[in-house]
Structure 1
């Protein structure tokens, strides 16, 4: 039987076999092509995610640098607004006549004085303070020391929150521009139709809105905290002996009073109306005659400010701020507890609590020996100085605790990953 006859006889089977082979070949080719496409897409996705991660982390580092620069100025201002050192000096000037009188021990004022290595005196404080009684001066010292420390704690948490929101909004926009440029093979933002001068001015204005927090916002924050301090500590005289649990209750009552008095922190952080923004603009004029229209700047800027306000009033931002404040206040209580209720250092020592054995427990003890509030005020003042350290070589444990909560990290990730573009690029 010849080959021709074999083919003719089995033509249907051979046709089916060739058909199956052809289908198999094309299926293989298609599958291979799809696999290569998927691999390419997967590789590109990994590269994009890595690029996004790097940019996000860089934004958080930029936010930290910006925040510490702002807090350096803000902390100095708060320390000067509440001159604990000046009142301490007034009390020390009276100590000669008060020895043996049965009033508060002279060592209490010496203890407060010893924490003041760099006194900042407020020239605006009235000279009439010198004519007041020792009791009145001690009351002012109590209010000023506690108010100063809590104002620093709140100012730190609020500055971190606002700066993180601003930097992540701007970082997100820069990332989206880079993505659009890559998709369209653009060499510059101008190729995408973006007015670079307009963007620069809008970004500058947006960041300069922190002036509100550093000035009117700080003044209102200080007023509310001082008022709450006067109310919560009204019945606690400096010579009153209190347990750690009593002190803890007073501190948390003070926080509750502050939070309820402010209700919303938006008015502390940003101007809430156009008229109030004009105050910010008047104090932060453009460095040169702008080459872009004011209406265009305002239109772009309003989008950033509106988004910032919405974020600040969101549950996520409230949770982040609450967590940051809790971290700062818990560190304050822990340091006071270790310093005064476990006698880890004497009142004359200027050694930071944070330099001591980290394994030492700071759990509350219900049977701790009560301590005179006057002595505790020295520790509170010492902690205020720890919070206010923002020099180039300073390590600030309060900033670290406040700036590194999971809730804050989650908020920043949410802001940065919100890719809904609400204005034209």
Structure 2
């Protein structure tokens, strides 16, 4: 029996070998498939975790942008209020009115300045505007206190103006101040988004590389600072560079806002100059004049707005960069060429590219649209024209502002609202104008483009290569903009298009 069994195995050994081979191959294939499935599942899990981590970092970064804007906005507001002291002019108006009343009571009507009355329009000669200051709510007690702090010293000479000139000054200053604050807030919002998202991108990349690097087995303490092992420094994520880069917002807060104010004031004088403070004006007419001011500042056509250059308001020229760092307390008076750091230079050049890009102009226009709509269509309409907001009674709003009705109010009433809203626009606390701007979805898309683009240039090798290229003379002073301006612009356009497409897809699915 044993020999028969041995004979049977010999006769069927080929079949056994084939069967064993098939079973072995099946086992190996099964294990391979299972390992691939496990690997794919792990990779998907890692990608999901990475995306969630990136999303949380991005959202936290946007919250930091909001807090940063609210923290540094009062600096620009102080400079603008000091340059356009509406409350101080109003105090002078009230002082002149009290003097005229005292003269009229003490010496009769003949002692009142006839030149003042003769030069003033009939509607201004009766002093009705001065009496309406309190009823219009033009100035609060707290604002009076602030204006007294901002008023120049008694030794400062001031040209004596009559009543008409003072009212014209109130008109121009009130409107210009509100408009200037809107432009400053919009530009500061975009600049802060660019700065913090550029730094956030570098922080994220440095943290990813640090986590992906192998852990050191040597537990000994080494006091030597080895740059090769310092991923934070290698990827440009050093505290000193970041601090200097963020300090460049000083230019907008102290210089840029004043340049904007000059441009806005010139446009307001040209458009609103002929208006009489006691003249009746409709909300539609006020909106048309506001749009006309914006066209003179931003451009008439879409192409003009796209080509409008805002960089000079946001960042200083190269010759002023060291001065800005010194003024912001980032460098000593004897320190020379503080911006020669390749990492800082690259951050400033990329910021300049982003500011000069068409997406920046597009988003800025949308932010200004939202802020001016809140000011004119909501605040002025509600407070000056007594029109209920749309949420209160949609049918009533249509009935009031519809064609043929033409609700009117005094220009002085709108000036009162402009003056009060300046404090809301410049508020460093609960700022509804900033909240409205952050509701513009294209702002988040723009921030996402800044945060997620140009990762390849953050590697130390790429940064060194670009810095070396930037130092080569190419027809003058070469910067990173000169090296890859066309490619960077096209990449930004592609990223911007993709970001907007994703936002559109979200809105459709929601």
- Could you tell me the TM-score, scaled by structure 2's length? 0.72
Relative to structure 1, the CA distance from residue 76 to residue 115 in structure 2 (aligned partners, 3 Å threshold; closer, same or farther) is: same
* Equivalent residue number for residue 95 of structure 1: 97
TM-score relative to the length of structure 1: 0.86
Partner deviation per Cα, 1:318-346 (whole Å, 9 max, x = no partner):
222111111111100111112232356xx
Deviations 1:373-396 (A, max 9, x none): 111111111111211221xxx311
The 2-side partners of 1:189 and 1:417 are apart by 29
1:243-254 counterparts in 2 under 5 A? 243-254=282-293
> 5+ unaligned residues in a row in structure 2: which ranges?
110-116, 217-224, 464-510
The equivalent position to 2:143 in structure 1, one of 111, 118, 125, is 118
CA positional deviation for 1:267 = 0.4
What is the Cα deviation at residue 83 of structure 1?
0.9
2:254 aligns with: 215
Q: Does 1:389 align with 2:433?
A: no
Residues 209 and 231 in structure 2, CA contact (< 8 A), matched pair in contact too: no
Please provide the CA RMSD for this pair: 3.2
Bigger CA radius of gyration: 2
- Residues in 2 aligned to 1:29 and 1:278: alpha-carbon distance in whole angstroms: 64
SS at match of 2:142: coil
Deviations 1:236-293 (A, max 9, x none): 2212211111111111111111113992111000013x21212212313436799x99
C-alpha distance in structure 1 between counterparts of 2:353 and 2:8, whole Å: 82
Counterpart residue number, 2:133? 109
| Counterparts in 2 of 1:40 and 1:403: CA distance versus 1, 3 Å | same
Pairing 1:280–2:324 present: yes
Within 5 Å, which residues of 2 pair with 1:15-414? Answer: 15-95=17-97, 97=100, 102-104=122-124, 105-106=128-129, 107-110=131-134, 111=136, 113-115=138-140, 117-119=142-144, 120-121=147-148, 122-124=150-152, 127-129=157-159, 131-185=160-214, 190=227, 191-192=229-230, 195=233, 199-260=238-299, 263-272=308-317, 274-286=318-330, 297-333=340-376, 334-342=378-386, 358-361=391-394, 364-366=401-403, 367-390=405-428, 394-414=429-449
CA contact (8 A) 2:199 2:237 kept: no
CA distance in 2, matches of 1:89, 1:13: 111
Between the aligned partners of 2:341 and 2:413, the Cα distance in structure 1 is 53
Deviation of 1:9 (Å): 5.8
Tell me: CA distance 1:84–1:285, structure 2 relative to 1, closer, same or farther (3 Å). Answer: closer
SS in 2 for 1:420: helix
1:5 Cα deviation after fit: 5.8
2: CA distance, partners of 1:235 / 1:422 = 55
Return 21-30 or 374-383, whichever deviates more: 21-30
Q: Which range moved further: 144-153 or 171-180?
A: 171-180
Deviation at 1:186, TM superposition (A): 5.8
How far does residue 207 in structure 1 lie from its aligned partner after superposition? 0.6
Tell me how many residue pairs correspond in the alignment.
408
Contact 2:326 2:332 in 1 (8 A): no
Q: Which has the higher contact order (CA 8 A, sep 6+)?
A: 1
